[in-house]
Structure 1
Amino acid sequence: MTDPAPPPVDGSLAAGVAVIRRVLPTLPDSPGVYRMLDAAGDALYVGKAKNLKRRVPSYSRPALLPLRLQRMVSRTASLEVVTTASEAEALLLESNLIKQLKPRYNILLRDDKSFPYILITGDHDWPRIVKHRGARKRAGEYFGPFASAGAVNETLGHLERAFLLRSCSDSVFANRARPCLMYQIKRCSAPCVGRIDQKDYAALVAEARAFLTGASQRIQDGLVARMEAAAEALDFETAAHCRDRLKAMARITARQEVNLPRLGNADVIGLHQAGGQTCVQVFLFRAGQNFGNRAFYPSHPPEAPAEEVLAAFLGQFYARYEPPPEILLSHPAAQPEVLAEALGLRAGRKVRLGRPERGDKRRLVAHAETNAREALGRRLAETTAHKKLLAQLAEKLGMAAPPARIEVYDNSHVQGRHAGGAMIVAGPEGFEKAHYRTFSIKDPGAAGDDFAMMAEVMRRRFSRVLKEDPDRQRGHWPDLVLIDGGKGQLSTVLKALDELGIAVAPEGPLAVAAIAKGPDRNAGRETFHLPGRAPFTLPERDPVLYLLQRLRDEAHRFAIGTHRAKRGKALTGSPLDSVPGIGARRKRALLNHFGSAREVAAASIDDLAGIEGISRALAERLHNHFHGGD
């Protein structure tokens, strides 16, 4: 998070101070959020205040500010203010703006991957149980969040064995003529073919809901009673069925390393700082069961204290997820009362922030803190080793300094079809997947021509970065560009960059290299091509070679994945997708009536106009699309 730029000169700092001082007379005596913006209008910093008139003037006294904030003030070209009704609302708005704008001088939660849930659907007569990730728009009940897809999949497997709920899609359910494999392996009750009536299936759904909301012991006790009654009645098949369900439930409740049934719904958060970095471990407990944990590494200045990092993390983390009733912390957070009030506003109920000192809850917090310490230790070790590798890479390629941003490019197509390019990004902390990009080849003449495709990708990528970051101040420029290819691809890239007026090493700051596969495409025998240098190879066991292979392979994986996604979409597409005015609803109506796109194409204008939602004008347009009319 630290700004690598040199300390600001007096003139730029004075200009930033003048901008802030011009705004001071207009500031209200009320809570709100302020934004420092640079000359391009990008947010440098977002802050909140209980009293804007008292808080913002501190930035107009640079002698009292740390060097990092002096740099921020020196780049400030304007200041925007939004008032709120309370300090808690200001905190919520601040967290939302930080997540949205990602200002350079704020503490940032960088891992924005969503948590998965278990969903019992509510929009079908026979509910299904599925894994869900993303917006919670579908009707039904959501249980979670879970820390990982693996935790969800494992729990789902046990739930299917315990409650025999269907997991198939509604279309598969509607078209089954006999039970599927899930019924044969005792993970579904086969409601699709009437092996269970709706009343009994609804009872299974109710039991699953109760189990997931904390009534597991009651459900298990009921099954034990039914098993014993069946055994006494010599109905051993039913008894065995109950026994198998009990085993599956026991695996769910016993699989976690840490459980606390009395805890209910809570998040346990442990924090550890070392080497100017922070790891925050979040353990998710729902109905007293541990749904897994995830590590986060917020971006912040090395000197940021734990209470500020934790408060910023909580604000941004719960800007996306509903806070549970209780959050247990290993460290105190800055302004805990305001934070708890803000989280309560978001949840629509009271949220308690606790820092237990003894008992079972303290044991859970200590466990989370231990995990944070160990995870940060591993990360620091990996980062140190990776930085050494980058320094060695710079030496091998003749760079003046280790690269802070590496961009690797590759293309993928099959005989010119579904052609696309891909860019992956790596830095001192590994792959930066949030910055990955794909390029659909737009020039029909370039598809299938690797050189023309690479030239188009280079022109589009660097034309954009020239427009968005002409002064190379926003971190969008790479230090090193790697190309999956040989001398021909390198020449193509150099020509495209030259046409854009971008100088490459040794004349300019941008280093470019191409990685050509060895004879018979053998890994370990790659040849490297750089401008103005003879091709060279690296020793087979050189760590730098492994690094370059890993970068190249990641770009190849991403390019292939992008190509396959495009090809799969084309295979499952419909001729109706290309007709203007035909969206998902109208396409469904047409296919439901005519049965196929071929029958739609053969239909008359009158037949088309008879479909609900299809006007006469749209019917004529649709008919002309398939028959070449004007």
Structure 2
Amino acid sequence: MTEGSLEKGIDTIKSHVKTAPTAAGVYRMLDRHGDVLYVGKAKSIKKRIVAYTQPKRLPNRLQRMVAATETMVFVTTRTEAEALLLEASLIKRFKPPFNVLLKDDKSFPYIMLREDHEWAQIAKHRGARKHKGQYYGPFASVSAVNRTLNTLQKIFQLRSCTDSTLETRTRACLLYQIKRCSGPCVGHVSKGEYNDMVSETRAFLEGRTSGIQKKLAAAMQEASDALEFEVAAIFRDRLNALTHIQSHQSMVNAMVDEADVIAAAEVGGQVGIQVFFFRAGQNWGHRAYFPKHDKTDTLPEVLGAFIGQFYDNKPAPKLVLLSHAVPEQELLMTALSDRMGRKVSLTVPERGKKADVVREAERNAKEALERRLAESASQARLLDGVAEKFGMAEPPKRIEVYDNSHIQGTNAVGGMIVAGPEGFMKNAYRKFNIKSEDVAPGDDFGMMKEVLERRFKRLLKEDADRERGHWPDVLLIDGGKGQLSSVMEILEDLGVSGVTVVAISKGPDRNAGREQFHIPGRESFMLAHTDPVLYYLQRLRDEAHRFAIGTHRSKRSGDIKKSPLDGVSGIGPKRKKALLHHFGSAKAVADADVRDLEGVEGISRAMAQHIYDHFHG
């Protein structure tokens, strides 16, 4: 940045100081596009932003931020703790480049124990909590949920099927045959026995297992004494499953019932964070994070920023064990406690079992970061190779790969995947439903034209000066010279230049490893079948193909689920159900005459005529 632009940024901040509130709150710095550069919180906003008008006290990174600042936005809060929570929420929402950013913060899976049905259901859950019941979690991964559900099915045998499956079954399913369900759908268990198993499941998920173990052992002995050896064997298997899961939790039982362990490690100026989830005296998995941060940020600063953002959309447990003390730790505890409505403790254990668990998490964080750095170094070498093969001045930072998918022109979709220095950028993937009526069924050229026009028209509208990092350095197209010339024509019509366009076509007999690459102004060429760059480009093409096909299948399955009755105005779920129950299928409804339609409960003479007219024109 030039000194002049820095002076302009300082003048901008000084003008906002005059009207800045003295209360606690959050401030945002915005650039000339209206994009958020930085989100900060303060006990007094006015006092805090004055510091940005003294450039000699600011590091180079913050000087660049000040120079790019065009305006500011202020939001006041009642307390500094509220400001801290709002700051974390806004950072996750706007992803400002000058903040520490928590990336890949996907929602966590839970186990749902439904209580709004006479036969309680246990199932994996993610998303909005629509059903009344208990939700246990979070689990670090779907595999951790599946392992726990598998154990629960062995021990307690609650149903996992949907309500519709439960209501329509006439004989027990396979889960009953392998003793993973008690068969409430066909009356193989009484309501009282089933409710007892529900209570035992709840106790298990809350960590109260000793009573369950004694009850199963007593039931096994009672069945054995009564010479009911098959029943005794069932209780024996359930007891074995419970003992097995308990034997794998010795480390946790010596610690606490409920806690998160958050440990950070630093390698080569990068920070990796490992989070372990302990609930009900059990280890419910762990997950690695690699926050985006500036090299001048210290490890405790990164860890503190991570904690605020991590608990922005998930409940905090009573105890959070940390590997390092973080700035404003007391304020962070107050903020989390206020949000949860109960005390949340953040502590750094120094000795004992808790310290051992934190050191284990810290070791995992370091190993995960080292693996990631090794992968990043390998990725950098591959991008260097891409630049060399394609005659680029520098390695690409963003590669976009396009593919189409359809069946005889139906449910046509286009897919775009993105890759960069850190691998696949899945949050940047895009799907395009082909909308143009001018595109003939199966016209791959026409579909590609629509996709690229929509993509680049939006880029030209939102980022014409290419400052936001959304423009691709390389466009990789699945096809040959025909597709390449078509793409070049589209880009030329849009006035787009400075993008390397490469078409990749399969070689003779469509053999992998004999692909040909087509670049404008060059003869087509092949890469050595042992070249790592070839493998990398194949992976990109295959990922685009996978994404496009997956999108197409989702769209097709949605269409398959649609009923012809959905297109009849005035037919809601209740009338639709009555018609299907009466006639057996939508086709039979379409073939029925007015008199037959009128005989269905809830269908008047006028509605029957309306339905008949809909299907008969």
The TM-score bracket by the shorter chain reads: over 0.9
What is the one-letter code of the residue matched to 2:231? T
Partner of 1:550: 539
Partner of 1:86: 79
Partner of 2:160: 167
CA distance in 1, matches of 2:225, 2:334: 56
Alignment partner of 1:565 is 2:561 = no
Q: Is the contact between residue 249 and residue 281 of structure 2 (CA under 8 Å) also seen in structure 1?
A: no
Partner of 2:336: 343
CA distance in 2, matches of 1:261, 1:156: 24
Q: CA shift at 1:492, angstroms?
A: 1.0
Query: 1:426 aligns to what SS in structure 2?
Result: strand
CA distance in 1, matches of 2:504, 2:339: 51
Q: CA shift at 1:96, angstroms?
A: 1.1
Alignment partner of 1:407 is 2:396 = no
What is the one-letter code of the residue matched to 1:85? R
CA distance in 2, matches of 1:492, 1:577: 40
Partner of 1:448: 442
Query: In the TM superposition, what are the counterparts of 1:217-296 in structure 2 within 5 Å?
Result: 217-255=210-248, 258-260=251-253, 262-296=255-289
Task: Note the residue ranges of structure 2 that are not aligned, 5 or more in a row.
Answer: none
CA distance in 2, matches of 1:351, 1:460: 48
Q: CA shift at 1:42, angstroms?
A: 1.7
> In structure 2, do the counterparts of structure 1 residues 620 and 316 end up closer, same or farther at CA, with 3 Å as the change threshold?
farther
What is the one-letter code of the residue matched to 2:545? H
Deviations 1:233-273 (A, max 9, x none): 33322221111001122233334584235401110111011
CA distance in 2, matches of 1:350, 1:603: 67
CA distance in 2, matches of 1:451, 1:623: 41
RMSD of aligned alpha carbons: 2.3
Instruction: Find 2:42's aligned residue among 49, 54, 79.
Output: 49
Alignment partner of 1:494 is 2:488 = yes
Q: CA shift at 1:419, angstroms?
A: 0.9
> In structure 2, do the counterparts of structure 1 residues 35 and 168 end up closer, same or farther at CA, with 3 Å as the change threshold?
same
Query: In the TM superposition, what are the counterparts of 1:298-313 in structure 2 within 5 Å?
Result: 298-313=291-306
Alignment partner of 1:526 is 2:539 = no
Q: CA shift at 1:40, angstroms?
A: 2.0
What is the one-letter code of the residue matched to 1:470? A
Deviations 1:440-498 (A, max 9, x none): 11123424111111111110111111111111011110111101111111111111111
> In structure 2, do the counterparts of structure 1 residues 217 and 415 end up closer, same or farther at CA, with 3 Å as the change threshold?
same
Deviations 1:111-148 (A, max 9, x none): 12111111111121001111111122221111111111
Q: Is the contact between residue 261 and residue 287 of structure 1 (CA under 8 Å) also seen in structure 2?
A: no
CA distance in 2, matches of 1:418, 1:330: 51
TM-score scaled by length of structure 2: 0.95
Partner of 2:473: 479
CA distance in 1, matches of 2:384, 2:599: 68
Query: 1:259 aligns to what SS in structure 2?
Result: helix
CA distance in 1, matches of 2:395, 2:598: 64
Deviations 1:329-353 (A, max 9, x none): 0011110111011111221211000
The range that moved more, 316-325 or 269-278, is 269-278
What is the one-letter code of the residue matched to 2:253? L
Instruction: Find 2:23's aligned residue among 30, 44, 49.
Output: 30
The range that moved more, 386-395 or 270-279, is 270-279
Query: In the TM superposition, what are the counterparts of 1:103-114 in structure 2 within 5 Å?
Result: 103-114=96-107
> In structure 2, do the counterparts of structure 1 residues 310 and 577 end up closer, same or farther at CA, with 3 Å as the change threshold?
farther
Q: Is the contact between residue 100 and residue 302 of structure 2 (CA under 8 Å) also seen in structure 1?
A: yes
Deviations 1:70-116 (A, max 9, x none): 22222211101010000110011111111111112111111121111
Deviations 1:527-560 (A, max 9, x none): 0000100000000100110110111111111111
CA distance in 2, matches of 1:199, 1:72: 66
What is the one-letter code of the residue matched to 1:67? N
Q: Is the contact between residue 310 and residue 333 of structure 1 (CA under 8 Å) also seen in structure 2?
A: yes
CA distance in 2, matches of 1:397, 1:512: 9
> In structure 2, do the counterparts of structure 1 residues 536 and 22 end up closer, same or farther at CA, with 3 Å as the change threshold?
same
Instruction: Find 1:537's aligned residue among 488, 511, 526.
Output: 526
Partner of 1:4: none
**Percent identity at matched positions?**
57
Q: Is the contact between residue 254 and residue 353 of structure 2 (CA under 8 Å) also seen in structure 1?
A: no
CA distance in 2, matches of 1:296, 1:588: 48
Query: 2:411 aligns to what SS in structure 1?
Result: strand
> In structure 2, do the counterparts of structure 1 residues 47 and 518 end up closer, same or farther at CA, with 3 Å as the change threshold?
same
The range that moved more, 72-81 or 460-469, is 72-81
What is the one-letter code of the residue matched to 1:479? D
What is the one-letter code of the residue matched to 1:459? E
CA distance in 2, matches of 1:516, 1:150: 37
> In structure 2, do the counterparts of structure 1 residues 259 and 537 end up closer, same or farther at CA, with 3 Å as the change threshold?
same
Q: CA shift at 1:63, angstroms?
A: 2.4
Q: Is the contact between residue 31 and residue 83 of structure 1 (CA under 8 Å) also seen in structure 2?
A: yes
Aligned residues: 615
Query: 1:324 aligns to what SS in structure 2?
Result: coil
Partner of 2:563: 574
What is the one-letter code of the residue matched to 2:556? R
CA distance in 2, matches of 1:479, 1:356: 48
CA distance in 2, matches of 1:582, 1:95: 46
CA distance in 2, matches of 1:139, 1:261: 33
Q: Is the contact between residue 224 and residue 232 of structure 2 (CA under 8 Å) also seen in structure 1?
A: yes
Partner of 1:64: 57
Partner of 2:461: 467
TM-score scaled by length of structure 1: 0.93
CA distance in 1, matches of 2:210, 2:578: 48
CA distance in 1, matches of 2:604, 2:352: 70
Partner of 2:365: 372
Q: CA shift at 1:13, angstroms?
A: 1.8
Partner of 2:69: 76
Q: Is the contact between residue 386 and residue 395 of structure 2 (CA under 8 Å) also seen in structure 1?
A: yes
Q: Is the contact between residue 255 and residue 354 of structure 2 (CA under 8 Å) also seen in structure 1?
A: no
CA distance in 1, matches of 2:297, 2:605: 66
> In structure 2, do the counterparts of structure 1 residues 364 and 582 end up closer, same or farther at CA, with 3 Å as the change threshold?
farther
Q: Is the contact between residue 605 and residue 623 of structure 1 (CA under 8 Å) also seen in structure 2?
A: no
Q: Is the contact between residue 528 and residue 534 of structure 2 (CA under 8 Å) also seen in structure 1?
A: yes
> In structure 2, do the counterparts of structure 1 residues 411 and 35 end up closer, same or farther at CA, with 3 Å as the change threshold?
same
What is the one-letter code of the residue matched to 1:541? T
Q: CA shift at 1:23, angstroms?
A: 1.1
> In structure 2, do the counterparts of structure 1 residues 24 and 184 end up closer, same or farther at CA, with 3 Å as the change threshold?
same
Q: Is the contact between residue 158 and residue 251 of structure 1 (CA under 8 Å) also seen in structure 2?
A: no
Q: CA shift at 1:575, angstroms?
A: 2.2
Partner of 1:516: 505
Task: Note the residue ranges of structure 1 that are not aligned, 5 or more in a row.
Answer: 1-7
Q: Is the contact between residue 274 and residue 287 of structure 2 (CA under 8 Å) also seen in structure 1?
A: yes
Query: 1:14 aligns to what SS in structure 2?
Result: helix
Query: 1:229 aligns to what SS in structure 2?
Result: helix
CA distance in 1, matches of 2:516, 2:569: 49
Q: Is the contact between residue 426 and residue 432 of structure 1 (CA under 8 Å) also seen in structure 2?
A: yes
